Amino acid sequence: MNKECTGRIIYAGNGHYRISYKEKEYKAVLAGSYPGAIPVVGDNVKFDTTEDELAVIRGYEPRCSVLERKRPDTKTEIQTMAANVTHLFIVMGMDENFSERRLERFLVLAASGNITPVVVLTKSDLNQSQDVAIFQFRAEESAKGVKVIPYSAVYNEGLEDVKKLINEESIICLVGVSGAGKSTLFNKLTGDEKQKTSFVRDYDGKGRHTTSASVMIKLECGGWIIDTPGLREVGLTGDEEAVEFTFGEIKELSSECFFNNCTHMHEPGCAVKEAVENGKIKEDRYASYLRMIAETRSLEKRKGESKKREGRKFQKMVKEAYKYKKRF
């Protein structure tokens, strides 16, 4: 096949790629002239093949959505994890793994990337039904308007509700901490034991992660599903609007604050603070909102500073080159 085709990236790691095209898979590399951002799983790319069936990626199609987070251990770098995802399945165990604060972070990433979030609460079989109801209520309070599905891999409870959300247009991406049950759900939905699962968990951040690279495969219905390694850190990308969207009830109340530019921290006549005081908004959620706004703004500031630094470096380089040119 020499003519250019459009296929989907199903694996990306260390400069190696795999492309799915018409029921076939190709090993792939980037062309030297490849323009634009480095492809990630879910990307649609233009490629042709060499005689020994190696695909050469030459271009890309615009992305409909993008899953990004701040790269851990860096100050401003953004990591793109997947493209064209339609549904972000936020997988969370109904155990010590459960965290509304982490859930809110994933919701911000979904809002920022134009992805529909769904919360899958796993391990319902390990809980009494009233505890499942409490976990579900807590998740719904943090993820307002988002579908929350209690699920058990042991009894397949909730599996039909999960399947109902998936059709041939879907690209599902499973995210969550290590041990949440992402690969177990992935195997269930693909009807295969492709992904290794393990009891080893990572609550203290030191343990082993069972899944170590993102894997994307086609579902029987024609949609796609991506399993990802457990995330220790869900760093926000600096999208303040996505935070405001996730904390919709706070945004709504803002219009009733006395000051237009109220920060909801210390101003008099603040409708948000009043709602916290009379219990309409929970203290934890309010604190989480303030933290995320602060984190977002400080990232934007740092991004600005690093851009300025780059600019100064470039100007210095130009000056030096100029001096050098003058000398000869």
Residues of this chain that bind Zn ion (CB under 5 A): 257, 262, 264, 270, 272
Please choose, from the candidates 88, 280, 288, 80, the residue with its C-alpha nearest in 3D space to the C-alpha of residue 172: 88
**Residue from the set 8, 63, 123, 264 that interacts with ligand GTP by CB under 6 A:** 123
Whether 166 and 116 have beta carbons less than 8 Å apart is answered as no
Which of 49, 211, 214, 296 is close enough to bind Mg ion by CB under 5 A? 211
Contact between 303 and ligand GTP per CB under 6 A: no
Among 84, 97, 210, 237, binds Mg ion (CB under 5 A): 210
By CB under 5 A, what part of segment 53-72 binds Mg ion?
Answer: none
CA 19, chain centre distance (Å): 21
Query: 109 or 180, CB closer to Mg ion?
Result: 180
The two tokens of residue 154 are: 């042991």
**Closest to Mg ion by CB, 124 or 211:** 211
Query: Beta 16-21 vs 5-13: how paired, if at all?
Result: antiparallel
Beta carbon nearer to Mg ion, 19 or 172 = 172
And the tokens for 168?
């041939």
Residue 154 Cβ, how far from Mg ion at the closest point, in Å? 17
Q: Indicate which single residue of 44, 84, 86, 184 sits in contact with ligand GTP (rule: CB under 6 A).
A: 184
Pairing relation of β-strands 24-30 and 147-150? unpaired
Element (H, E) at 184: helix 182-190
- Which of the stretches 167-175, 204-212, 293-301, 316-324 binds Mg ion when contact is defined by CB under 5 A? 204-212
Chain centroid to CA 153: 23
Cα-Cα-Cα-Cα torsion 188, 194, 195, 197, nearest 10 degrees, comes to 70
What residues line the site for ligand GTP (CB under 6 A)?
Answer: 122-123, 125-126, 152-154, 176, 178-184, 197-199, 209-211, 229-230
